[in-house]
Structures are given as structure tokens and as C-alpha cells.
Amino acid sequence: MKIKNSWIKFLATGFYSGLSPVAPGTAGTLLGVVLLYLSFKINLISQVDFPLAFLVVLSSVIIAQLAQERIYQEKDASEIVIDELAGYCLAMYLLPINMLIPAFVLFRIFDILKPQPIDKLEQFRGGLGVVMDDLGAGAITAVLLHFILLFV
């Protein structure tokens, strides 16, 4: 099945949120907050579980790869924000709805600052290289929030 470039751009840019002239990564992550909030509220999901996270991550790698090859021709174009959606989805792994905002704040901090070892994850090529640093930021966010919830 061949996906049209218009669909790739629509998905890769997070429904065009990545075309924001200011902080496109934050705009893309905010889209993730809204999508998860609505999914929780309409009882589509009760939490981000493994099948959902796996599906989002896998589709993000594929769409990022296609967008990089066909549309943007650069390593990690700022317009591609599907990686932020995947990273934020992972940040919310098995967390309740009341963690949407703390996960957003921590994820953005880790994604922007890219502390070690997150910065090393950018060395991968293609769609995996676009998504891996965001997955690292999401994983660290999820672990930190689960740790905090254990002691609160």
C-alpha cells in the first residue's frame, strides 16, 4: 500500500501542529495531551498500555521515515512532530489521567535538554533516529513519575 505524501505530511506534522512557527515540538506534544485526554474522557482507553504504546511507536518510526525521505530530506526536521507524540505516549505509559500535565512538563524538559543518555539516541538513522531521543525522554519521564507515585 502506497501512502500519499499529503497523508504522510498530515500525520508526521501531528495534524499540522508541527507547522507552528513557535515551538513546533511543544505544539505537537500538546496535541498528544489533547488526544490522550479525550481518549480517557470518552473511555476509549483507561491508560496507555503496551499494545497502544507499541502501535504508536511503530507507526511513528514509519511515518517519520517516510516524511524524512519524501518531504523534508533532512535528519530531524522541526516540522516532524510525530516523534513527540510517540515520546509523550510513552511518558504516559500506565499512568492515570491526572498525570497528563506533569508528564507533559517533564517530557518537554527532557526532550529539549536531552541529558545523557538521551542525546546519544539521536545517532540512529532514518525514522528510528527521529523518534529514539523522544522515546528516551518519554521513558525517563514515565519512570520518574511512577517512582514519584510510589512515594506520594
pLDDT at residue 1 in the model: 61
Q: How confident is the model at residue 30 (pLDDT cuts 50, 70, 90)?
A: very high
Range of the domain at 138: 5-150
Comparing C-alpha atoms, which of 22, 18, 114 is closest to residue 60?
Answer: 18
Domain count, the chain: 1
pLDDT in tens, 60-119: 999 999 999 999 998 889 999 999 999 999 999 999 999 999 999 999 999 999 999 999
HSE (side-chain half, CA atoms, 13 Å) at 115: 10
